[in-house]
Structure 1
Amino acid sequence: MKFLLYLSQNYSFEIMRPLCSLMRKEGHDVRWFAEGSEVNKSQFQPDDIVLSTISEAIRFRPDASFLPGNIVPSFIPGLKVQLFHGFEWKKKGHFRIRGCFDLYCTQGPFFTKKFEALREKHPHFTVKETGWTKLDTLFEYTKKDIPQHKLPVILYAPTFSPSFTSANSLLNAMFALSKKKSWKWKVKFHPKMDKETIEAFKRAQHKNLEVIDSHNITPLLVESDVMVSDTSSAITEFLLLGKPVVTFKNAQPEPVLIDIDDANKLEDAVEKALTMDETLKESINNYSLKMHPFTDGQSAQRVLQATIEEIEMYPREENVAKPKNIFRNFKLRKRLGYWR
């Protein structure tokens, strides 16, 4: 079959790479299409076939297009498969149905239940619980030899969203603790983080406070002992490894998180995380079963299987036609410069 991997942000590479590898292994024809100017094309691999224009993507006539983004042009042939860009369900828009997709590949029971309920109101798509493809790499990485550190490693991974980010609020407290305590702080920013904030942290760097420039957060998730964040999708990824998370003013704090509302409480919160008790361990385990019960590293396989099944069943009798999305597709045509 012919498959198109459609991306507009660099973080999409980590999500779609396991799927690409599997598709090729099984003999499918795979092409990539990068929309806009924010994709770092040096992240494509030598054997990737990259289509340079939307016209090429349409002429390719894929059986299905996959993307972690929110919208996809309906004028590209084939099924449209939603992979999701994270676990950011607390942020506005995560459960918004935009009429673009035929298949939603959900991460776990929590998301499956939500989208199945939405399907009752919008019966033009199918929901399949597959797990999240990005985590295939994470669970495979846990099998490798993990670097051993003399000091506890604290990963700070805030969101970039101005209404949720903790970066400016926690910088001074974090810097003070990096001087006071025998902890190693590693800071990983979202690609969209404000540049001035990034520079402020870089100016504060020393041997126990380091800003990591790599686009790949997976090694940091595996080697760190505690995460400090706010309302970031990376929180769930860290919890799925059975590790504790300290949050600052989380949008919807839950028992699984050690949430604080004052930067002065950061030290005690991290201490609590480092000495995680049985109650917190049980809470993290129950949360993982709800959000992403798959730990086998085979989510890409389930996504591919669900997609092929959907292609074979299309159009399903129980599904109605998708909305025409005339205005949205007009804007997409204008953005992509395609008027045929």
Structure 2
Amino acid sequence: MSDYLLFATERYALPILQPLAQALHEAGHTAHAWFADGAAGAALPAPARMLEPGRAGLRAAVALKPRAVFSAANWVPPFVAGAKVQLFHGFNVEKRADARGHFRVRGLFDLYCTQGPATTAPFRELAARAGHFAVVETGWPKLDPLFRDDDGASAALRAPAGARPVAMFASTFTERLSAAPHLFEAIAAQVARGDRYWLLTLHPKCAPDLFERYRALAGANAAFVETEQLIAAQRAADVLVADTTSVVSEFVVQRKPVATFRNRAPKPHMIDFADPAELEARLAQAFAPTPQLQAAIDTYADAIHPYRDGLSSQRVIAATGDLLDGTLGRLRGKPLSSWWRELQIRRDLGYWGPGA
């Protein structure tokens, strides 16, 4: 049995780490979790073992000397022992330039577990140049529950719909990209009509007043879904209405249609629109996709996440084992910039213990 550490800085990381915690348990390992920043008050259910929040938990994480640290954030405490494994907190939805966004390399990780060919190829090019990290395409642990039994969670979310089709709404927190303020009235009108059932969710960082408005729509024709229920909601819904959130890519992996509002980088698999008055027409398209649209959806899904077996967590564990066993080759030392980042992280966390 080996000890592993799960690390997160936001609540939205929990659905990424939970399938991995379960897979570690099934393989006979122990998954411990220590969360910082926006995830500091959150917890994973058993079998994960939660460490205390704050500095006490951080000291426990250091003392644990885990075999590896799995991070669903864009950084990781480098002074905790073990291989540092990047799991990503979302798909590349082109919110930012590559150098600042999905493909930014910070010199903190030993292994990048990529989601599909669309991200594997760029990271392998970066690895060839940098030499201090390995890349293995594993699929994304967060999506494992999309493709296996979820103990009725998705069925329970869909049950109130009866025979009605189910639409889901999700929105990013980035103010300039968020559809939530613009589509509220149109979605409220849809909910009031009642011919479709709605599952509504927002990014945890969205403004509190938006949460209040969307929660108020819950009733016979709609339900508000918390972050921890996101995967079950995606399974339950037939179509998605969204913006530039990475939920778009997660949903499309199921080969289901998406209508996007002012997406930053619209693609052929999206039904993009700019006027809230178009919502009904775009929904009609989504509920009856053309063969051309369905083909574009299938092609995109295969590029970003071709795995439909629900076993990405197991592949992450295997890739980490290969890294530790030396199967992935010898890595160069970390760049000097990583030492500066470590000092910044120690300062931010208030930790100047062993190795400082």
TM-score of the aligned structures, taking structure 1 as reference length: 0.93
- Which range moves more in the overlay, 264-273 or 29-38? 29-38
State the alpha-carbon separation in 2 of the partners of residues 330 and 172 from structure 1: 48
CA distance in 2 between partners of 1:248 and 1:37 (Å)? 27
* Preserved contact between residue 175 and residue 209 of structure 1 (Cα < 8 Å): no
State the distance in 2 between where 1:47 and 1:211 align.
Answer: 27
Q: Distance in 1 between matches of 2:61 and 2:93?
A: 30
Mapped partners of 2:303, 2:317: distance in 1: 22
Equivalent position of 1:81 in the other structure: 85
Aligned twin of 2:3: 2
Letter aligned with residue 24 of structure 2? M
C-alpha deviation, 1:198, in angstroms: 1.4
Question: 1:104 aligns to what?
Answer: 112
Deviation at 1:214, TM superposition (A): 5.7
Q: How does 1:219-298 map to 2 (within 5 A)?
A: 219-298=232-311
From the superposition, tell whether residues 205 and 296 of structure 1 become closer, same or farther in structure 2 (CA, over 3 Å).
closer
Deviation at 1:315, TM superposition (A): 8.7
Q: Any idea what SS the aligned residue of 2:272 has?
A: strand
Q: Which runs of 5+ in 1 are unaligned?
A: none
Q: 1:274: how far off?
A: 0.8
Q: Which amino acid aligns with 2:6?
A: L
Q: Give the residue type in structure 1 aligned to 2:104.
A: R
- Asked if residue 91 in structure 1 is aligned to residue 95 in structure 2, the reply is yes
Once the two structures are overlaid, the 10-residue window that deviates more, 267-276 or 120-129, is 120-129
Q: Does 1:29 align with 2:33?
A: no
SS across alignment from 1:85: coil
Instruction: Write out per-residue CA displacement over residues 91-137 of structure 1, whole angstroms, 9 at most, x where no aligned residue.
Output: 22111111110000000000101111222332211010000011111
Measure the CA separation in 1 of the matches of 2:267 and 2:87: 25
In structure 2, do the counterparts of structure 1 residues 214 and 103 end up closer, same or farther at CA, with 3 Å as the change threshold? closer
Residues paired across the two proteins, number: 338
Percent same amino acid at aligned positions?
A: 34
- What is residue 332 of structure 2 aligned with on the other side? 320
Question: What is the CA–CA distance in structure 2 between the aligned matches of 1:70 and 1:138, rounded to whole Å?
Answer: 24
Q: What do residues 294-335 of structure 1 show as CA deviations (whole Å, max 9, x unaligned)? A: 101111111111000100118933x32112423322221122
**What letter is aligned with 2:232?**
P
Could you say which residue in structure 2 is the equivalent of 1:190?
Answer: 203
Question: C-alpha distance in 2, partners of 1:200/1:329?
Answer: 41
Q: 1:215 to 1:17 in 2, by over 3 A?
A: closer
1:334/1:201 CA distance change after superposition, 3 Å: same
**Which residue of structure 2 aligns with residue 45 of structure 1?**
45
Q: Which residue of 1 aligns with 2:73?
A: 69
For 1:339 and 1:315, how far apart are their aligned partners in 2? 32
Equivalent position to 2:140, from 98, 108, 132: 132
Structure 2 unmatched runs, 5+: none
SS in 1 for 2:61: helix
Aligned mates of 2:187, 2:323 — CA distance in 1: 49
Name the TM-score, length of structure 2 as normaliser.
0.89
Instruction: Give the secondary-structure state (helix, strand or coil) at the position aligned to 1:127.
Output: strand
Preserved contact between residue 6 and residue 70 of structure 2 (Cα < 8 Å) = yes
Instruction: Say if 1:299 and 1:84 are closer, same or farther in 2 by CA, change over 3 A.
Output: same
Bigger Cα displacement from structure 2, 106-115 vs 209-218: 209-218
CA contact (8 A) 1:248 1:260 kept: yes
- Conserved? CA contact 2:186–2:276, under 8 Å: yes
CA distance in 2: counterparts of 1:179 and 1:65, whole angstroms = 47
Matched, 1:59 2:63: yes
Instruction: List structure 1 segments (4+ residues) > 4 angstroms apart after TM superposition.
Output: 142-145
Q: What SS does structure 2 have at the residue aligned with 1:134?
A: helix
* 231-240 or 133-142, which deviates more: 133-142
1:192-231 residue pairs with structure 2 within 5 A? 192-213=205-226, 215-231=228-244
Contact 1:109 1:290 in 2 (8 A): yes
* Residue deviations 1:233-278 (CA, integer Å, cap 9, x gap): 1111111111100000101000000000111111110001111121
SS in 1 for 2:204: coil
Q: Go from structure 1 to structure 2 and tell me whether the alpha carbon gap of 1:30 and 1:113 turns closer, same or farther (over 3 Å shift).
A: same
SS in 2 for 1:77: coil
